[in-house]
Structure 1
Amino acid sequence: MNLALRWLAWCAASIWLAAPALAHKPSDSYLSITQTATALTGQWDIALRDLDFAIGLDADGNGEITWGEVRSHHADIAAYALARLAVEGDGQPCVLRAGEQLIDQHTDGAYTVIPLQLNCPSAPAQLRLTYRLFADIDPQHRGLLRLEAQGQSRAAVLGPNAPTQAFDLAQPSRFGQFIDYAREGVWHIWIGYDHILFLLSLLLPAVLAWRAARWQPAENFRDAFVDVLKIVTAFTLAHSITLSLATLGLISLPSRWVESAIAASVVLAALNNLWPLFHGRRWTMAFAFGLIHGFGFASVLADLGLPQGTLALALVGFNVGVELGQLAIVAAFLPLAFMLRDTRFYQRGVFVGGSAAIAVLAALWFAERAFELKLLAF
């Protein structure tokens, strides 16, 4: 029991300390490489806010990055980026050259767009990429790769977990593409701390029961399991609906609205633990707010710019990955929480203290996202 107490306390502390760093959309760049009959070309979109942190774009320090400031740093940007991307064709190094940069908008702000020319010794059958952009300053940064060859498109995630990856340029297997998208779904839920805290807010009372106007320990594991099953099923169904609609382009909402609403959902879910209004119908809250979270999940697939032929595979694979990520969290949390449900540590420390901490943190996220404030120093 002491080991279980220490483990749960460690998990709660880890989430509390790490969450602010990922309160917003994680740091991503978007790298596309296209093979034609005669050449390899590409495009690399990198967030200006990340480049400003790395090499300093805001020359006058007024908090705003102008086109003139970006343009004056084009050579620095290209040199910084190309020094952190290596490409080999059939084991031989390819020379990367950057073209004239432009500016584009993604769901989370302005990006510099670097056209790429990849000169390999011969037309390669396999590409090997080593990606280390921002590796020394942001261990959570990822490069979202879209590779088009032989009339097919595939996706991959480049980052600290897998900085070097090889790709056969022959027609890719559908199963391999499915695994790539599923892996991205798992990773997205694990680093999306607002999604995790929303899920935990719903899981915390699952091992308790509302009786005599107060939370009391659940009588058996079956009741707790059924409660969690209802919540996870409702959340899954809801975010699958909006994930599909948003990725297919049928519904589009501003990123600021979506991210603000996600933060608000975390606040309300946590406060419901302290002053319960939906103690017997929390699955309805999971469904309603799951619709909002689906738009947040869709931002990753939308920014990849996937072609129509890959959309169905991407949707299914990514959604499966999200569910696997959620199930891993549930499987780790529920048994331990049930073991500790009748202890003061769980009832007062984890349940009440954890819910209050989640509500305060998510309220700060909401204020930052809705009113474009900077309240957290990290």
Structure 2
Amino acid sequence: MSIARRAVVLLVCVFWAAMPASAHKPSDSYLNIDTRGEQVEGRWDIALRDLEYALGLDGNADGAITWGELKSRRAVIFAYALGRLSLARGATCTTRAGGLQVTDHTDGVYAALDFSADCPDQGASLTVGYRLLFDIDPSHRGLLRLDSSAGTHTAVFSPARARQTFDLGSVNAVQAFLQYLVQGIHHIWIGADHVLFVLTLLLPAVLVRESGRWLARTSVRSAVVEVTRLVTAFTVAHSITLALAVLGFVDLPSRLVESTIALSVVVLALNNLVPIIPQGRWLLVFGFGLIHGFGFASVLGDLGLPAGALAVSLVGFNVGVEIGQLAIVAVVLPVALLLRGTTFYRLAILGLGSAAVAVVAAYWFVTRAFGY
């Protein structure tokens, strides 16, 4: 297989992987544990859609989970959740179910499970084992906030890190930073709308618009400069609103944010087909980047971290997002540079690819804005 064909296959694979039928916020749960008293107390927020998927809570199959349906399955829900959570403080703790409530997060309604744990040994560390939903959704993540006498610990549970131990006498800021860095990379890689936005802004960056036509840039350097300008604009913009949203200065409705993110992909893809803004695209990208930042903020905002832990988690998460974004650029840009002079690139990859992205993103916009 020639180098050009391999490049085409690679680019097509990137597009295919980034275009699922839907692209909503990844599955997360929010686990809060307080060890400051003699007894361990906890609250676990789990999305109703995830519990429905695992347990089938919608008894009459009408598409809505009522409080009555949720309450009638209380014992089943607690057995399912607490059976996938283990706590050990020197010795294994015994967990007990508490109250059941419902609460809202940015992506929908969650069941809030209160629980407590009796630990026979008041050890200096707490080991948490987390297995919720990993068997049916490997992309699920558990976001932990652990309060101890030393401060607040944060962590992210994944299939690869399903069991973690925390020193209750000190807070490891470096560990929190690294975990949220990984979470930031994970978040952008599985966020199809963010990935398609980056891909769609990259494709015409190796071309220049002249006399109503896309032509290949003669200089690799000029293409790299254009990509750098676009990626920098997106990075600066979403970093600003990510910080503002997480720190509580700005709060926008989730439906508005998610719908506008989908619309931004539509506009960018259509601009590739009918360039209304062929020059100075970085301004358009900066404006849309501000909206994407609010989307990135949903994970950290829902966790409700205190100021000390929030700063470390925010920086780590944002750095992770940038690393994930640069990894996409590192894959796509060399392929685009190699093929930029071909008719196939201009018609099939840029033309048909942008059209396909516009259709998929328009579908996301309709489902998010109107709830279809």
User: Shorter-chain TM-score: which interval?
Assistant: over 0.9
Q: Distance in 2 between matches of 1:37 and 1:138?
A: 34
TM-score (structure 2 length as normaliser): 0.95
Q: Residue 100 of structure 1: SS of its match in structure 2? A: strand
User: Which SS does the other structure have where 1:25 is aligned?
Assistant: coil
- In the alignment, which residue of structure 2 is the partner of 1:78? 78
Partner of 1:20: helix, strand, or coil?
A: coil
Deviation readout 1:80-138 (Å, 9 max, x if unpaired):
11122222333x32222111211111111111111121222301222222222112222
Is it true that 1:196 corresponds to 2:195 in the alignment?
yes
- Give structure 2 stretches of 5+ with no counterpart: none
Distance in 1, matches of 2:298 and 2:340, equals 37
Match of 1:9 in 2: 12
The alpha-carbon deviation at position 314 of structure 1 amounts to: 2.4
The CA distance in 1 between the partners of 2:293 and 2:128, in whole Å, is: 31
Deviations 1:263-305 (A, max 9, x none): 1001001111001112211101110001111111111111010
Letter in 1 for 2:21: P
Partner AA of 2:12 in structure 1: A
The one-letter code matched in structure 2 to 1:25 is K
Identical amino acids, percent of aligned pairs: 53
- TM-score with structure 1 setting the length: 0.94
Determine the structure 2 residue equivalent to 1:272: 271
Equivalent residues in 2 for 1:215-230 (5 A)? 215-230=214-229
Amino acid at match of 1:10: C
Q: CA deviation at 1:204?
A: 0.8
Which position in structure 2 is the counterpart of 1:376? none
Aligned length: 369
Q: Is the 8 A contact 2:99 2:115 kept in 1?
A: no
Q: 1:304 & 1:192 partners in 2: Cα distance?
A: 19
AA of the residue aligned to 1:3: R
What residue in structure 2 maps to residue 168 of structure 1? 167
How much does 1:39 deviate?
Answer: 2.0
The corresponding residue for 1:43 is 43
Please identify runs of 4+ aligned residues in structure 1 that moved more than 6 A. none
**Residue deviations 1:47-66 (CA, integer Å, cap 9, x gap):** 11111121111111111111
Matched residue, 2:370:
371
Letter in 1 for 2:59: A
Could you tell me which amino acid in structure 2 is paired with residue 13 of structure 1?
A: W
1:30 matched to 2:30:
yes
Q: Deviations over 1:303-359 (max 9, x none)?
A: 010112223222222211111111111111111211121234422222112111111
State how 1:110-129 maps to structure 2 within 5 Å. Answer: 110-129=109-128
**Matched letter for residue 29 of structure 1:** S
Corresponding residue number in structure 2 for 1:20: 21
- Aligned residue for 2:46, secondary structure, equals strand
**Could you tell me whether the CA contact under 8 Å between 2:259 and 2:365 is conserved in 1?**
yes
Where do 5+ consecutive residues of structure 1 fail to align? 374-378
> In 1, Cα distance between the equivalents of 2:344 and 2:158?
38
C-alpha separation in 2, matches of 1:119 and 1:224: 61
Partner of 1:311: 310
Q: For 1:270 and 1:292, how far apart are their aligned partners in 2?
A: 17
